[in-house]
Amino acid sequence: MIYLVSGEHKPLIKKKVDELISKHLDEINDFTLIKYDLEETPLRMIADDAITYPFGYDKKLLLLTNPYFLLKDKKVKLDFEQTFEEFEEYLDNQSDFTTIIFVVDSDKIDRSSAFNKKLVKVGQVINTGSIKKDEWPVIAKKRIKDNGCTISNEALNVLIERVGEDLVRLEQEVDKLCLCSKKINVDHVTSLVTPQLEENIFALLDNLIDNDVNKTMKVYQSFKLSNIEPIQLLTVMASQLRFIYQVAVNKELGHSEAKISEILACHPYRVKLAFRRINKGNDSEYLIRMLDQFMLLDLDIKTGQVDRFQAFELFLFKFLYQQL
């Protein structure tokens, strides 16, 4: 039997692979479970191993990682000449005592080559799927519960915002938080979980809207030291500002936070944060005026009319001192 296990999230792939291993092997050891890296091992060796009877056991499983040929446009420099004929012959006459699992760290398998078409045809393709937005809090809470801990709703929202759609990081951060406290609150999350780049850019926008000169320039200087380009900052800030503007317009129409979340198809916590910014006196007219200035600066930088760093810093100061 041949499986092709693919997906976006490594923990989900690992879970499915472990299930298949348990299903096909009664006993797991170095003789029954054999692992190969296909960027280091030619397929002809896999074919030879697949037809070799396992010494002292009835079954064996070959776990194959990095099948670069299954991914489109992935170029790999090999220390050997890769050939497919021997493995194609094995596909036509498979051993009943050998199970083979190809582990593909992507949800998109290239089916254009003749070999890949044949492999997909004779094998069972298992896509572990993606995680929907409303599933992330559920996954986080289960991991926290499994660690014998609890978390407040606000802390959970901040955790999801900071981690983003990264399952490996989510599990790591949850485990770290649970070592710190059995009852996780917002302070634990903000002090222990490092924000993503986008969240730091959101913080820059928040400080700018609040006219907080010291915090704005402190965050900006950290970006400058990290060689983050002004265009990247502008792009993310403009995107967030457009979202706040959409929330402001809907708020002025009398819609509730829950209704706006439904209309904009976004997480309720994002709307709640936008409400906080709007409640500080930033109406839709102010936000659209600010957005216009973002677009003008973006155009000036992209057309080379201004020095990108000097222009961005001047832009920040003008906003902070209400000169725009």
SS (H, E, C) the chain: CEEEEECCCHHHHHHHHHHHHHHHCCCCCCCCEEEEECCCCCHHHHHHHHCCCCCCCCCEEEEEECCHHHCCCCCCCCCCCCCCHHHHHHHHCCCCCEEEEEEECCCCCCCCCHHHHHHHHHCEEEECCCCCHHHHHHHHHHHHHHCCCEECHHHHHHHHHHHCCCHHHHHHHHHHHHHHCCEECHHHHHHHCCCCHHHHHHHHHHHHHCCCHHHHHHHHHHHHHCCCCHHHHHHHHHHHHHHHHHHHHHHHCCCCHHHHHHHHCCCHHHHHHHHHHHCCCCCHHHHHHHHHHHHHHHHHHHCCCCCHHHHHHHHHHHHHCCCC
**Where is the domain boundary, 172, 192, 212?**
192
- Shared domain for 174 and 286, answered yes or no, is no
Predicted local confidence at residue 275, as pLDDT: 84
- Shared domain for 100 and 142, answered yes or no, is no
- Shared domain for 140 and 234, answered yes or no, is no
CATH code of residue 52: 3.40.50.300
- Shared domain for 158 and 75, answered yes or no, is no
Predicted local confidence at residue 281, as pLDDT: 60
- Shared domain for 148 and 103, answered yes or no, is no
- Shared domain for 113 and 147, answered yes or no, is no
CATH code of residue 155: 1.10.8.60
| Largest separation between any pair of C-alpha atoms in the chain | 81
Predicted local confidence at residue 153, as pLDDT: 92
Q: What is the distance between the alpha carbons of residues 282 and 209, in angstroms, rounded to a whole number?
A: 8
Q: 139: which 2 tokens?
A: 């996954």
**Where is the domain boundary, 108, 127, 146?**
127
The range of the structural domain enclosing residue 178 comes to 133-192
CATH code of residue 201: 1.20.272.10
- Shared domain for 268 and 294, answered yes or no, is yes
28 close to 185: Cβ distance less than 8 angstroms:
no
In the chain, the number of structural domains is 3
**Which tens digit of pLDDT belongs to each residue from 15-36?**
899 999 999 999 999 899 999 9
155 close to 163: Cβ distance less than 8 angstroms:
no
55 phi and psi angles, rounded to 5 deg: -70, 120
- Shared domain for 6 and 123, answered yes or no, is yes
- Shared domain for 49 and 100, answered yes or no, is yes
**Where is the domain boundary, 127, 147, 167?**
127
Mean pLDDT of all residues in the chain?
87
Q: Which residues of the chain have pLDDT under 70?
A: 280-282, 323-324
- Shared domain for 16 and 91, answered yes or no, is yes
Predicted local confidence at residue 282, as pLDDT: 66
- Shared domain for 113 and 37, answered yes or no, is yes
Predicted local confidence at residue 267, as pLDDT: 74
- Quickly tell me which residue has 């403009």 as its tokens: 238
- Shared domain for 113 and 20, answered yes or no, is yes
